Amino acid sequence: MSKNKNKIKWFILINFVILFFLVIAFGKEYVGNIQVEREIAQLQQQRSEFENEQLDTLNLISDLSSEYYSEQEGRTKQGLGREGETLVIIQYESNTVTDGEDLATLGSYSLESLGNPARWFLYFFANDTFAKFENI
């Protein structure tokens, strides 16, 4: 009987060793499958992003090749017009404060002649000059 018990012990031990190796092999396969699924999901997301970019590009191409865009570009950049149209250009002199302009030279201007950005600039950064303009 002790021979049978020894055989059963060895049989169980060998089965546990085989089971251990099988569990390790299936575990590796499972982890590999999870990584492949993650990669597939990432590639599908990239594909959808590329499809959206392609649609945006195709829309831009169709917009740029449209007759309306060509006409608008011709009108604004080239100064072209349709037959019978007259082009009128209105030029005006701007009295706005630039970054390099000395605030002392603003004495020749009135507050009404300054543009809105110049007024805000004077109000926040040269309040004494703004006050002088208000008193004029």
- 104-116 pLDDT, tens digit each: 555 555 666 777 8
pLDDT in tens, 77-97: 777 777 777 766 667 766 555
Report CA-CA distances (Å) from 98 to 103, 114, 117, 122, 131. Answer: 10, 11, 10, 11, 19
Collapsing DSSP to helix, strand or coil, 114 comes out as: coil
C-alpha–C-alpha distance, residues 114 and 130, integer Å: 11
pTM: 0.42
C-alpha–C-alpha distance, residues 46 and 71, integer Å: 37
Which carries the bigger pLDDT value, residue 75 or residue 135? 75
Instruction: Give domain limits for the chain.
Output: 2-77, 103-135
Helices 127-135, 116-125: inter-axial angle, 10-degree rounding: 120
